[in-house]
Structure 1
Amino acid sequence: MSAAERAGQAPGRPGGLADRLGAAVRLRADGRPEEARELLVRLGAEHPEDAEVAYQTAWTHDVLGLEAEAVPHYRRALALPGLSEADRRGALLGLGSTYRVLDRAEEAVATLGDGVREFPDDAALRTFLAMALYSAGRPKEALELALTVVADTSADPGVTAYERAIRHYARDLDDLS
């Protein structure tokens, strides 16, 4: 099921909201993010308690390069009940990545770290955390995490042949033995 098809399907959602939210997601997916943003901002004003509306609004602001404007929408989406697990993961990743783009590296590390603690097997969250760690001036931790993600997720025969060594160096980059 696509994001547009999932949008608005939470139980108890007011009539018409599901259709309007789905339409906004389709507009963004169809390359019309400004129109999607206009609709989502209206929906957010009408339904400030709806976490999915807040998340889709944040995402659309990010698509438009309006990262600073996306932050309060991500924060609201994460604070409200009702996000699906997939959307919660996406909101944590989106907010953390947005903080990094805004040169707020410590907030990026905190947000993405929370995401990794909540969803420890999510390779995308761990990868974005590695980038945030690098931006926060912690390159050793960043590379250790990135190497672990590579070892955990790669099916490349060259990587899998050296998986044991990669994991060893991920634990101790300074060991040259």
Structure 2
Amino acid sequence: MTDPGDRFEAVWSDASLSDHERIARIDELAAACDDEARAVFERAGARDSAGLETEAEPLYRRALELGLPEQLRAQAVIQLASTLRNLGRVAESLDLLRAERERGGALDDAVAAFQALSLASAGDPLAATSIALQALAPHLPRYTRAVSAYARELHPPR
């Protein structure tokens, strides 16, 4: 039998689907999924992707309450924080992202990207730029040190 994650990924990869069709397919797969937390997470993501943030938010929270494996947990936190930013709840978004950055993990660059977006939405473009550059710097072997230093100059750590 196919891994449920593979079936969800196949739906996400199908660019021919409309938002409504993607939600319907994800909901169908979720109803047949034995992993309730994963099913709820995927339902949240489908709604979030379709711009239905008010429907996505409680589903993300429920998926996190049910307990997700670490990689999906981090994705759910990032996506919830993005949803909150889109709903105008930037301070709450920043709180989630700061905590996730402190926790550390494989998605640190993604956390930094969404933290930069939230900081920009909060009216702090220098902090947003600094965080984005700090995340980018390790990917610039010739310029890591210089870009890191400039990023700290823009917004020194507090």
**What TM-score does the superposition give when structure 2 sets the normalisation length?**
0.77
- SS of alignment partner, residue 82 of structure 2: helix
Query: What is the CA deviation profile of residues 22-81 of structure 1, one whole-angstrom value per residue up to 9, with x for unaligned ones?
Result: 3x553343243424423554676898x821111100111122221221111111111212
Structure 2's unaligned 5+ residue stretches are none
Alpha-carbon distance in 1 for matches of 2:29, 2:155: 52
Alpha-carbon RMSD? 2.8
1:26 matched to 2:23? The reply is: no
- SS of alignment partner, residue 115 of structure 2: helix
Which has the larger helix fraction? Answer: 2
Q: Count matched residues.
A: 151
Q: CA deviation at 1:6?
A: 4.4
Whether the 8 Å CA contact 2:126–2:155 is kept in 1: the answer is: no
Partner of 1:7: 4
Whether the 8 Å CA contact 1:27–1:35 is kept in 2: the answer is: no
The match for 2:138 among 142, 145, 152 is: 152
Partner of 2:58: 72
- SS of alignment partner, residue 86 of structure 1: helix
Larger Rg: 1
Q: CA deviation at 1:140?
A: 2.5
Q: Are residues 174 and 96 of structure 1, via their aligned partners in 2, closer, same or farther at CA, if it must alter by over 3 Å?
A: closer
Q: CA deviation at 1:87?
A: 1.2
Q: CA deviation at 1:150?
A: 1.6
Partner of 2:82: 97
**Equivalent residue letter for 1:144:** S
Q: Are residues 174 and 39 of structure 1, via their aligned partners in 2, closer, same or farther at CA, if it must alter by over 3 Å?
A: closer
Whether the 8 Å CA contact 1:123–1:153 is kept in 2: the answer is: no
Q: Are residues 70 and 42 of structure 1, via their aligned partners in 2, closer, same or farther at CA, if it must alter by over 3 Å?
A: same
Overall identity of the aligned pairs, in %:
34
The match for 2:147 among 163, 166, 174 is: 166
**Equivalent residue letter for 2:153:** D
Partner of 1:115: 100
**Equivalent residue letter for 1:7:** P
Whether the 8 Å CA contact 1:25–1:36 is kept in 2: the answer is: no
**Equivalent residue letter for 2:11:** L
Q: Are residues 170 and 6 of structure 1, via their aligned partners in 2, closer, same or farther at CA, if it must alter by over 3 Å?
A: farther
Alpha-carbon distance in 2 for matches of 1:174, 1:105: 19
Partner of 1:52: 38
Structure 1's unaligned 5+ residue stretches are 9-20
